[in-house]
Amino acid sequence: DGGITQSPKYLFRKEGQNVTLSCEQNLNHDAMYWYRQDPGQGLRLIYYSQIVNDFQKGDIAEGYSVSREKKESFPLTVTSAQKNPTAFYLCASRRDRSNQPQHFGDGTRLSIL
């Protein structure tokens, strides 16, 4: 079945470390997104990409980086510059048509040791 796979499900980071969250989709979707979810705040957009080798900052991009070398993959790196990285991270993808909804992965929960 087609879908979006996020790994790992749980991730722990030490202070000062960079960590990379994986997001892979086999839906042949053009656009991919990363969101951060904190309790009571809904989803906030970190980065998004509409095409390979191109991506744009969302509302809270500071302390994060992404790459889009392949259509299927959109990994997110949480750098040591992100001072409050503990959160639930969701990846989404969609066909790049104006009325198409997003499809979501099952998320990665990142915690600081």
Partner 1 sequence: AQSVTQPDIHITVSEGASLELRCNYSYGATPYLFWYVQSPGQGLQLLLKYFSGDTLVQGIKGFEAEFKRSQSSFNLRKPSVHWSDAAEYFCAVGVSNKFYFGSGTKLNVKP
Residues at the site binding partner 1, with contacts judged by CB under 8 A:
4, 6, 31, 33, 35, 40-43, 45, 48, 50, 58, 88, 90, 92, 96, 98-99, 101-107, 109
CB of 58 to partner 1, least distance (A): 8
The least distance separating partner 1 from the CB of residue 15, rounded to whole angstroms, comes to 25
At a CB cut-off of 8 Å and minimum separation 6, what does 41 contact?
Answer: none
Integer CA distances (angstroms), 51 to 15, 31, 59, 90, 113, in order: 33, 6, 19, 19, 35
* Closest CB to partner 1 among residues 43, 52: 43
Nearest to 18 by CA among 88, 63, 80: 80
Q: Which is nearer to partner 1, 27 or 80 (by Cβ)? A: 27
Given the complex with partner 1, which of 4 and 78 has the nearer CB atom? 4
Q: Is there a contact between 76 and 23 (Cβ–Cβ < 8 Å)?
A: yes
